[in-house]
Amino acid sequence: MKDRIPSENGEHRLSDVALADLTRMLADFANDREWENYHTPRNLLLALVSEVGELSEIFQWKGEVPRGLTDWNADEKEHLGEELADVLLYLVRLADVCNVNLGEAALRKLKKNALKYPVEKYKGSAHKYILHDTDDAEKNGNVSSDIVS
């Protein structure tokens, strides 16, 4: 297997691929095949959901699995990698078609979550539905449901 991919600035190791590179390569891939008309936000979202379903099937009857998947064989890990890649590629393509800079959006979301869930207050907590400002929450009936762990 090739461990490098071509880029405008030479080559990148596969482990160093940036979202911008994936975005460009996916756009080129679709363009070369004249698939732009089919790559609508709705179609890409439905394909993404389908791939998430395939990813879920891998874990469906395994119960909890250890970090690092130490008891999985090479074929199982390769299959997992393929399904994770499918999810990532559809997500990156969907973001591009919707004109969303996924890297910037992710960084903004991380910053929001860091402010919303300060380490001092939430370290070691598995709670995902917590009232952040009791007065505002009682007035508005708002409860946060961001996933942070």
Average pLDDT taken over every residue of the chain? 84
Pair 70, 62: CB distance under 8 Å: no
> How would you classify the pairing of strands 4-7 and 10-13?
antiparallel
- Rounded to whole angstroms, how far apart are CA atoms 13 and 20? 14
Which whole number is the average pLDDT over 48-73?
95
pLDDT at 11 over 90: no
Catalogue all structural domains in the chain, each as residue range(s) with its CATH number.
4-116 (1.10.287.1080), 119-149 (no CATH)
pLDDT at 1 over 50: no
Other beta carbons less than 10 A from residue 99's beta carbon:
6
The model's pLDDT over 97-114, given as tens digits with 9 standing for 90+, comes to 999 999 999 999 999 999
Which whole number is the average pLDDT over 84-104?
97
12's enclosing H/E stretch is: strand 10-13
**pTM score, whole prediction:** 0.75
Backbone φ, ψ for residue 32 (5° rounding): -60, -30
- Rounded to whole angstroms, how far apart are CA atoms 100 and 13? 25
Confidence (pLDDT) at 16: 73
- Rounded to whole angstroms, how far apart are CA atoms 37 and 23? 17
Which whole number is the average pLDDT over 117-133?
73
User: Which residues make beta-bridge pairs with 10?
Assistant: 7
